Amino acid sequence: MKVIFNQDVRGQGKKGEMKEVSIGYARNYLIPRGLASEATTDAINAFKLKEKAKAAQAAREKAEAEDNAKKLEGVQVMIRAKAGSGGKLFGAVTSEAISKALKEQFDIDIEKNKIVQSEPIKTFGSFTVKAKLGYEVNGTINVLVVEG
């Protein structure tokens, strides 16, 4: 019997996958527990529509990531920070601060968890920070930390 999995089932299938399983296993275990539903014609058509929608959404997100990478090429984000007498910053410039500055200065929306810092920025100067924008698209952010 063909079923479409509603949830991941260890050793059988992942959510959204359509697979052939034994009739008894489907009727006695998977379907009553809501782990899968029978693959009727209507369910298969709905499944295919969902797959097309997922593919279209992925294409949009990848195009957006590539667009953000192009926007980042000619941009230098200025972040103002306070420092002590030795030129060391109080705290560090975080990925959240970089994300907010990008949004405010250039209207580029990149989530803080997509900004990857090899080490925290703790001094004044110019730095390059990587951004993993998704779908194997990477960008570089030029950050200028000045006294403020």
pLDDT digits (tens, 9 = 90+) for 63-85: 998 998 898 888 899 999 888 87
Q: Is the pLDDT of residue 21 over 90?
A: yes
Residue 22 has pLDDT above 90, yes or no: yes
**Domains present along the chain, CATH in parentheses:** 2-62 (3.40.5.10), 65-147 (3.10.430.100)
Q: How many angstroms from the chain centroid is the CA of residue 12?
A: 27
User: Tokens standing for 116?
Assistant: 């990857």
CA of residue 73 relative to chain centroid, distance: 20
The C-alpha R_g of the chain, in whole angstroms, comes to: 24
Q: Is 136 exposed, middle or buried (0-12, 13-18, 19+ CB in 10 A)?
A: exposed
- Taking only the tens place, the pLDDT of each residue in 29-48 is 999 999 999 999 998 898 88
pLDDT at 11 over 80: yes
Q: How confident is the model at residue 119 (pLDDT cuts 50, 70, 90)?
A: confident
Closest CA to 111 of 94, 98, 97, 99: 99
- Phi/psi of residue 141, nearest 5 degrees: -110, 125
Start-to-end CA distance of the chain, whole Å, equals 68
Q: Which of 65, 72, 60 is nearest to 133 (CA)?
A: 65
pLDDT at 14: 93
Residues 6+ apart with CB under 8 A from 50: 16
